[in-house]
Each structure stands twice: as C-alpha cells, then as structure tokens.
Structure 1
Amino acid sequence: MEYAPRLLRAGVSAELHQWPGTFHGSQAILSAEVRPRQTAELAAALRRAMAG
C-alpha cells in the first residue's frame, strides 16, 4: 500500500488498484468473481502507460 505513493513522490508514474477481499496474486484464481474486473483494470492501466 505504501509502494505506489512512494513511487509517485519520487516522480515515477504509478497507479494503485485495490479490490476489497482479495490478496496479492488473487488474480491467478480463475474462478474468483472479481477476476474479470481485475483483468480489465490491469489492461486499461497498461494501455494508458503504453500510450505515454
């Protein structure tokens, strides 16, 4: 939780996304109800980063 704000303070572009009730790596659980939302938000963040 502190990593993204530290990156931002250092001038690094960063986004922090939270999904209540999940844990680091929970996106790997294919049957998780939140997984499609996680995947969509990750893809959108990558598109924004690649667009510059």
Structure 2
Amino acid sequence: MVRPSDPLKITLTDFFACKQGGTVAGILIDIRGFWAHDNHNYLLQEEEEAEEE
C-alpha cells in the first residue's frame, strides 16, 4: 500500500506520498482498524444481505 522508496523502512514522506497513510497507520496501531480492513469484503456482504431482508 505504501510502496516506500527504501524497501527496508517506511518514512513519513512515504506515508504522505501514498495518500493512504491514515489507513496504514490505523491497521498497524488499532486492532479494530486492522480487522475492518482485513474483513472489508465480508462486511460489505453482510450489509447487502441486511438490505435485502
């Protein structure tokens, strides 16, 4: 997601350049953020099923 200029480290500049720094930081520091990102497709499917009922 970040595609850092140096493959061994991610810098703040890399975060700003990728425009997804907030998402990456949330995944790294918040278990709920990680879970929501990792299960995005599952959550969308649940919402669609709830709308159909």
- Shared fold (TM-score greater than 0.5)? no
- TM-score bracket for the superposition, by shorter chain length: 0.3 to 0.5
TM-score, length of structure 1 as denominator length: 0.33
Q: Indicate the structure with greater helix content.
A: 2
Query: Which structure would you say has the larger Rg?
Result: 2
